[in-house]
């Protein structure tokens, strides 16, 4: 396989400077505000984004621990295969968060519901579209079936940093 290299398009700014205590998903971030500052030359690429209430952020988990094939996720005491979790200790530590878009000012996105560490390198921004991103008929959520509802109350600890 060939190597793939990405250049960050900007940085994410949030109140979370340490992994411990950071929300584990946007649903646990509540009204926490943050912003994405994209490179200024990318401002034209944001044209029309203000018409969307939410965006998908893809970012590099720059303080993640090394890859582990099995992990004990924040929502369970048992180990699971990494790819059945959203733990950041991945071969490619890419984070994904769906957050509320409050405003677009030039090359800056003002956001609510941020759950990532401060100064995480931003890889991409996509509009959230429920018809595309929340498929009907999803009925199986694996080991998370009786645990996902606990995510808003959970905070990260040091296990993946």
Model confidence pLDDT, tens digit, residues 106-139: 999 999 999 999 999 999 999 999 999 988 888 8
pTM for this predicted structure: 0.90
Domain CATH code at residue 90: 2.40.30.70
Residue of 140 and 54 predicted with greater confidence: 54
Residue 70 pairs in a beta bridge with 81
* 51-102 tens-digit pLDDT: 999 999 999 999 998 999 999 988 888 999 999 998 999 999 999 999 999 9
Which residues constitute the domain of residue 60? 10-131+139-150
In a domain, 63, yes or no: yes
Residue 155 pairs in a beta bridge with 23
In a domain, 155, yes or no: no
Measured in whole angstroms, the distance separating CA 108 from the mean position of its chain's CA atoms is 17
pLDDT grade for 20, boundaries at 50, 70 and 90: confident
Cα gap 19→54, rounded to integer Å: 24
In a domain, 159, yes or no: no
In a domain, 75, yes or no: yes
In a domain, 111, yes or no: yes
In a domain, 70, yes or no: yes
In a domain, 52, yes or no: yes
Please state the domain count of the chain.
Answer: 1
In a domain, 96, yes or no: yes
């Amino acid at each position: 396989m060939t190597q793939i290299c990405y250049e960050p398009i900007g940085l994410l700014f949030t109140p979370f400077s340490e992994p411990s205590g950071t929300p584990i998903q946007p649903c646990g971030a509540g009204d926490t505000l943050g912003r994405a500052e994209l490179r200024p030359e990318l401002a034209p690429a944001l044209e029309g984004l203000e018409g969307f209430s939410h965006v998908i952020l893809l970012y590099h988990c720059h303080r993640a621990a090394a890859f582990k094939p099995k992990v004990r996720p924040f929502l369970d005491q048992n180990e699971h295969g990494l790819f059945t979790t959203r733990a950041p200790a991945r071969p490619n530590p890419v984070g994904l968060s769906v957050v509320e878009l409050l405003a677009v000012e030039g090359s800056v996105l003002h956001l609510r519901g941020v759950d990532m560490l401060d100064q995480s390198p931003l890889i991409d921004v996509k509009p959230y579209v429920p018809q595309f991103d929340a498929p009907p008929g999803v009925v199986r959520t694996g080991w998370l079936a009786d645990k996902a509802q606990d995510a808003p109350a959970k905070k990260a600890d040091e296990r993946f940093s």
